[in-house]
C-alpha cells in the first residue's frame, strides 16, 4: 500500500473498531487503524489480509498516511480517553480535517469538543453507533450529528457500511445486510461504491442534525434499550418463577413471539439465550449467570436528562433502578430471609396466560418507545437539533439493538405528523395499546399477587394512565407545598397565583373540640 492513500483512519482497535474497519474494507475503502496496543494493529492486518486495510505504528503515522482533507474516526472508551486521544491527535491534523467520535460519549462532552475543535477549524461529528460486534462487522445503525459538511465528506463510507433495510418486511428479512462490494470495486474510488438511490433510502444512517444530536439520539436509544431489556427480564421472571417454565419452554415462547408482532432483535436474542447450555456445568447458561447487572451509564444519563427536561421516562428510570438494586446482593440476600411477601401461587392455565403476557409486553414496548421519542421531541426544541423523528425511527429499523417491527409504525406516525408530541397519540398506535392495556393490567395483577417485582411494566402502565388523565392528584401536592412553605398555587377557575393560611379556622365554622 503506497503512502497517503487511505480513505479513513480509525483510532481504537477494540472489538467494535476492528470490525468496523473490516466492514469498510469489505466495501472497497482503504482504511488504516491505530491502537496504542500495537498487537491489536498486527491482529487487524492478519484478519484483514487481502483487503485494503493496514495498521499505523503511531498517531503521527496514521495522520500522515490519510488522504487530505483527512477523516479520523475514534472508537475509544467514552470520557477522559476521548479527550486524551484528541489531545494527542489534533496537533497532527490540519484545518478542514474531520474527526468523528463514535464512542458512547455524553452529549455535553460532544458539545464541548465541537466548540474546541471548531476553534481550530477542525470538523467534529458525534456519531452514535449501535449493533455491537456483529453490527460493526456486517451493518450497524449509525447516528451522526454535527456539521453537515463533515457528514457529507464521509457519507459514502457510512452509507456503504450501515445496515440495509427493506421497508415493510419482517425484521429477519428487513435487514438485508450491508451491501457487499464486488472484488473489482476494491480498487475503485469510493464514489464508485455508492449504493443505488433505492438502497440508499434503506441504509440505517442519516445526517441527524447539528451539535451533539447524534450522541443525544444514541443516548436515548440506550435509555429505550435499558427499558425494553428490563421489561423482558420481568416477563422472564413471570414465566420462570411464576409459571414454572424451564429454559427450553421459555425459548419456545420467545421464538414464537419473535415470529409475530414482537419481531425484534431483543426478543430474538432472548430466545437464543434460553437455548444456550454451559459447557462447564451442563446447566442452561442463563441459570449460572450472576444477577448483578452492570452498566456503563448511558441509561442513567437518559433518565438524568429526562429529569432535566421535565419529560418523564418512567420505564427507563425503573430499568436503571433495577440494575442498581441488582447490585445490592448482600442486602437482597438478607431481605430474602427477613421479609415475607405474597404466598399465592399461579392459578391459571399457563398456556392461556401467554397471550396476555405477549400483549402486555407489546403494549409496554410501544409505550417505552413513546417515552424515548417524546424526550427527543422535547430535546430537539431545547437543544435546537431540529430532529426529524421519522428519520430516527427509519435508521433504527436495522442494525441497532432496539430494532423491531414496530419501528415501521413509528416511522409512519412521524412521517404523518412530524411534530407529534407523543406516539401514543398516533391513531394506529393508540389503538394498538388501547386494545392491549387490559392484558397489561391483568399481567400486573398476577405479578403483584405472586410477589414478582415488575417495576418497569408497572411504571409503564402508570405512564399511560397518567398521560390519559385529564386531572392528576397533583393539586394536593400544590396544596401541601403552599401549606408548609407558602409556595403558592394556581386555581382552575381564575388566573394568578394564590396563597392560603391553611391552619386558620374558617370564619363561621365552629372551632374543633380539643
- The CA-atom distances, in angstroms, between 231 and each of 227, 294, 300, 444 are 6, 17, 16, 12
* Residue 59 or 402 having the CB closest to ligand 6PG: 402
For position 296 contacting ligand 6PG by CB under 6 A, the verdict is yes
Binding mask 342-381 for ligand 6PG (x = CB under 6 A): ----------------------------------------
For position 131 contacting ligand 6PG by CB under 6 A, the verdict is yes
CA dist 405 and 387 (Å) reads 22
Among 52, 105, 130, 171, binds ligand 6PG (CB under 6 A): 130
**Residue the block writes with cell 496504542:** 36
Binding mask 236-275 for ligand 6PG (x = CB under 6 A): ----------------------------------------
What is Dmax (Cα atoms) for the chain?
98
Sort strands 489-490 and 497-498 into parallel, antiparallel or unpaired: antiparallel
Among 110, 270, 298, 460, binds ligand 6PG (CB under 6 A): 298
Among 110, 202, 222, 377, binds ligand 6PG (CB under 6 A): 222
- 6: three-class secondary structure by DSSP: strand
From the candidates 175, 225, 268, 358, give the one annotated as an active-site residue: 225
Burial group, residue 295, by CB count within 10 angstroms (0-12, 13-18, 19+): middle
Subset of 382-421 contacting ligand 6PG (CB under 6 A): 400-401
- Buried b vs exposed e over 324-349: b needs ≥16 C-beta within 10 Å? eebeeeeeeeeeeeeeeeeeeebeee
From the candidates 51, 159, 164, 218, give the one annotated as an active-site residue: 218
To the query of whether residue 36 is one of the catalytic residues in this protein, the response is no
Binding mask 92-111 for ligand 6PG (x = CB under 6 A): ------------x-------
Backbone angles phi, psi at 179, to 5 degrees: -65, 135
CA dist 1 and 391 (Å) reads 38
- The CA-atom distances, in angstroms, between 334 and each of 152, 274, 294 are 57, 29, 21
For position 321 contacting ligand 6PG by CB under 6 A, the verdict is no
Among 69, 79, 96, 132, binds ligand 6PG (CB under 6 A): 132
* Residue 112 or 296 having the CB closest to ligand 6PG: 296
- State the residue number with the nearest CB to ligand 6PG: 130
Which helix H or strand E contains 55, and what residues bound it?
Answer: strand 53-55
β-pair partners for 55: 33
* Residue 34 or 396 having the CB closest to ligand 6PG: 396
To the query of whether residue 382 is one of the catalytic residues in this protein, the response is no
Instruction: Check if the beta carbon of residue 75 is closer than 8 Å to that of residue 16.
Output: yes
Q: How far is the CB of 264 from ligand 6PG (least distance, A)?
A: 14
* Residue 6 or 265 having the CB closest to ligand 6PG: 265
Residues making contact with ligand 6PG (CB under 6 A)? 104, 130-132, 222, 225, 294-296, 298-299, 400-401
The residues annotated as belonging to the active site are 218, 225
Amino acid at each position: 500500500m503506497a503512502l497517503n492513500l487511505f480513505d479513513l483512519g480509525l483510532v481504537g482497535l477494540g472489538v467494535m473498531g476492528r470490525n468496523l474497519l473490516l466492514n469498510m474494507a469489505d466495501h472497497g475503502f482503504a482504511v488504516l487503524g491505530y491502537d496504542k496496543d500495537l498487537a491489536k494493529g498486527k491482529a487487524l492486518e492478519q484478519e484483514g489480509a487481502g483487503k485494503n486495510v493496514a495498521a499505523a505504528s503511531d498517531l503521527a503515522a496514521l495522520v500522515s498516511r490519510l488522504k487530505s482533507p483527512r477523516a479520523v474516526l475514534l472508537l475509544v472508551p467514552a470520557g477522559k480517553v476521548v479527550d486524551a486521544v484528541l489531545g494527542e491527535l489534533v496537533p497532527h491534523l490540519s484545518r478542514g480535517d474531520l474527526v468523528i467520535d463514535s464512542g458512547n460519549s455524553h452529549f455535553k462532552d460532544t458539545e464541548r469538543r465541537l466548540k474546541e475543535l471548531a476553534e481550530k477549524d477542525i470538523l467534529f461529528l458525534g456519531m452514535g453507533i449501535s449493533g455491537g460486534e456483529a453490527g460493526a462487522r456486517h451493518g450497524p445503525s449509525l447516528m451522526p450529528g454535527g456539521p453537515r459538511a463533515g457528514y457529507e465528506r464521509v457519507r459514502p463510507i457510512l452509507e456503504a457500511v450501515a445496515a440495509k433495510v427493506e421497508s415493510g418486511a419482517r425484521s429477519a428479512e428487513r435487514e438485508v445486510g450491508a451491501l457487499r462490494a464486488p472484488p473489482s470495486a476494491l480498487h475503485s474510488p469510493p464514489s464508485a461504491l455508492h449504493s443505488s438511490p433505492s438502497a440508499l433510502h434503506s441504509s440505517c444512517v442519516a445526517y441527524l442534525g447539528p451539535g451533539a444530536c447524534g450522541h443525544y439520539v444514541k443516548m436515548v436509544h440506550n435509555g429505550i434499550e435499558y427499558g425494553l431489556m428490563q421489561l423482558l427480564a420481568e416477563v422472564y421472571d413471570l414465566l420462570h418463577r411464576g409459571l414454572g417454565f424451564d429454559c427450553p419452554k421459555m425459548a419456545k415462547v420467545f421464538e414464537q413471539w419473535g415470529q409475530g408482532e414482537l419481531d425484534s432483535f431483543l426478543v430474538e436474542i432472548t430466545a437464543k439465550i434460553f437455548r444456550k447450555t454451559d459447557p462447564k456445568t451442563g446447566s442452561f447458561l442463563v441459570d449460572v449467570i450472576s444477577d448483578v447487572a452492570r452498566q456503563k451509564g448511558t441509561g442513567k444519563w437518559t433518565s438524568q436528562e429526562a429529569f432535566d427536561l421535565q419529560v418523564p421516562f418512567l420505564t427507563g428510570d425503573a430499568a436503571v433502578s433495577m440494575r442498581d438494586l441488582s447490585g445490592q446482593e448482600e442486602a437482597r440476600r438478607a431481605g430474602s430471609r427477613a421479609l415475607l411477601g405474597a404466598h399465592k401461587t399461579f392459578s391459571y392455565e399457563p398456556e392461556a396466560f401467554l397471550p396476555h403476557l405477549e400483549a402486555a409486553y407489546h403494549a409496554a414496548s410501544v409505550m417505552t418507545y413513546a417515552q424515548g421519542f417524546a424526550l427527543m421531541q422535547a430535546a430537539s426544541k431545547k437543544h435546537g437539533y431540529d430532529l426529524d423523528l421519522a428519520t430516527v425511527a427509519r435508521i433504527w429499523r436495522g442494525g441497532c439493538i432496539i430494532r423491531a417491527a414496530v419501528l415501521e409504525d413509528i416511522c409512519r406516525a412521524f412521517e404523518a405528523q412530524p411534530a407529534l408530541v407523543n406516539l401514543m397519540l398516533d391513531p394506529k398506535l393508540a389503538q394498538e395499546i388501547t386494545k392491549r392495556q387490559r392484558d397489561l393490567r391483568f399481567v400486573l395483577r398476577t405479578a403483584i399477587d405472586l410477589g414478582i417485582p415488575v417495576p418497569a411494566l408497572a411504571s409503564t402502565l402508570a405512564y399511560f394512565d397518567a398521560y390519559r388523565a385529564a386531572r392528576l392528584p397533583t393539586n394536593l401536592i400544590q396544596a401541601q407545598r403552599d401549606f408548609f412553605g407558602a409556595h403558592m398555587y394556581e386555581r382552575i377557575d381564575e388566573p394568578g397565583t394564590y396563597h392560603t393560611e391553611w391552619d386558620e379556622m374558617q370564619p363561621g365554622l365552629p372551632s374543633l373540640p380539643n
